[in-house]
Amino acid sequence: MRLILLGPPGAGKGTQAKVLIDSYGIPQLSTGDILRSAIAAKTPMGLAAKEIMDRGDLVSDEIVNGIVSERLDQDDCKAGFVLDGFPRTIVQADALDRMVGGRGPLVVLDIVVPEDVLVRRLASRRICGECGINAAVDWLTVCGTCGGVLVARVDDGVEIVRERLGVYHRQTKPLVDYYKGRPTFRQIDGNLPPDIVTGAIDAALTEAAARGVHL
């Protein structure tokens, strides 16, 4: 399964990605993790990215595409992957199509949640002040991983959240338009309990397979 998860901050992509990787035994790939790994491994693209970042400049689509391509060539991606945070632009989407050409189709899931719900979710979100992990819903005041005190994220104030969501929608609409005509594109209602969203994702994947798409 080669899956792209689209959806704004607070849509629940992380929760659903964990279910998918556990169910299918495939890796979750985020651009940030791929970039950090490439820099640590001193791959050619990783070194190029580090040089750019050390200058304080933004990493170009060409470098990001190269780093993702290096990662997709690794053995654990042969059975598939879940991409979260890539592609972000049409240039990156075009490049991804070339990267996976011949490996099977991309399944694109766009998790949709009303903005007012996202604002409430994000403004009430907490992280661990010690290890930085996002708090699970059943953690009340302390981190369930390290015992650190839970605190509000500095970028989760209401006005900041609304700006982040506005940027996301402006950037992502072209991607939705790029993919929505494909038989493997599905929009998922994310304004439901997580287990119901998981069921909708499973149904979407089953429907794609029934239409002759080999996952």
Annotation says 125 is catalytic: yes
Question: Distance between CA atoms of 87 and 95, rounded to whole angstroms?
Answer: 9
Annotation says 153 is catalytic: yes
- Quick check: 79 and 26 in contact, CB under 8 A? yes
Question: Distance between CA atoms of 40 and 17, rounded to whole angstroms?
Answer: 24
Active-site residue, from 50, 120, 125, 162: 125
Question: Distance between CA atoms of 82 and 108, rounded to whole angstroms?
Answer: 10
DSSP notation for 30-68: EHHHHHHHHHHHT-HHHHHHHHHHHTTPPPPHHHHHHHH
Closest residue by Cα to residue 124 from 7, 8, 10, 15? 10
Active-site residue, from 50, 120, 153, 182: 153
Active-site residue, from 13, 71, 121, 186: 13
Annotation says 55 is catalytic: no
Active-site residue, from 2, 71, 121, 164: 164
Closest residue by Cα to residue 7 from 82, 95, 84, 70? 84
Annotation says 164 is catalytic: yes
Plot region of 85 (φ>0 → left; ψ -120 to 50 → alpha; else → beta): left
Annotation says 13 is catalytic: yes
Active-site residue, from 50, 88, 162, 182: 88
CA 119 to chain CA centroid, Å, is 19
**Please, which residues have CB within 8 angstroms of residue 32's CB and are 6 or more apart in sequence?**
85
Residues marked as catalytic? 13, 88, 125, 153, 164
